[in-house]
């Protein structure tokens, strides 16, 4: 992740990561796995949820702020508001759903060209 100039409430460096991808590809499942080491089987479409966790990164204790966005188009307006503040983006797609890969590819190239954040593609096995 980049410069780390943001500071959290208790002065730890804060890194902002945004989960991006179509509805049902597994963004929330991945987020909850990272946060609580649990796999959630139920599917409840997300509007927008945020999480914060302390981790050690390159020997330094930092805070990771994860914004789990909505894949469902019904919530697109809420979701799009958040993208500006991202520092790192995890682009999630399902290996069983070609359109979910097309969606993140278009998202990356059309709407956020020039964003200096870190972009990571993640292939999930949803469905």
Contacts of the segment 50-54: beta carbons below 8 A, 24+ positions apart = 52/8, 54/12
Residue 25 binding partner per list ligand GTP, Mg ion, none, with a CB distance cut-off of 5 to 8 Å that depends on partner kind: ligand GTP
Q: Does residue 41 bind ligand GTP (CB under 6 A)?
A: yes
Cβ atoms 74, 44 nearer than 8 A: no
Question: Which candidate, 98, 99, 90, places its Cα nearest to that of 118?
Answer: 90
**Which range, of 1-9, 10-18, 34-42, 51-59, touches ligand GTP by CB under 6 A?**
34-42
Residues between 59 and 88 that touch ligand GTP (CB under 6 A): 70-72
Integer Cα distance of 39 and 28 in angstroms: 10
3-class SS letters over 69-112: ECCCHHHHHHHHHHHHHCCEEEEEEECCCHHHHHHHHHHHHHHC
Q: How far is the CB of 16 from ligand GTP (least distance, A)?
A: 18
Among 46, 62, 89, 101, binds ligand GTP (CB under 6 A): 46
Q: How far is the CB of 85 from ligand GTP (least distance, A)?
A: 19
Which residues contact ligand GTP (rule: CB under 6 A)?
21, 23-29, 40-43, 45-46, 70-72, 124-126
Which residues contact Mg ion (rule: CB under 5 A)?
27-28, 46
């Amino acid at each position: 992740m980049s410069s780390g100039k943001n500071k959290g409430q208790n002065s730890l460096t804060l890194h902002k990561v945004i989960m991006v991808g179509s509805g049902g590809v597994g963004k929330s499942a991945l987020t909850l796995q990272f946060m609580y080491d649990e796999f959630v089987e139920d599917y409840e479409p997300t509007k927008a949820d945020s999480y914060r966790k302390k981790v050690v990164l390159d020997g330094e204790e930092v805070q990771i702020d994860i914004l789990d966005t909505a894949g469902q188009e019904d919530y697109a307006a809420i979701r799009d508001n958040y993208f500006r503040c991202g520092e790192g983006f995890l682009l999630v797609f399902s290996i069983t759903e070609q359109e979910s890969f097309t969606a993140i590819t278009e998202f990356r190239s059309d709407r956020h060209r020039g964003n200096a954040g870190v972009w990571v593609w993640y292939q999930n096995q949803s469905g």
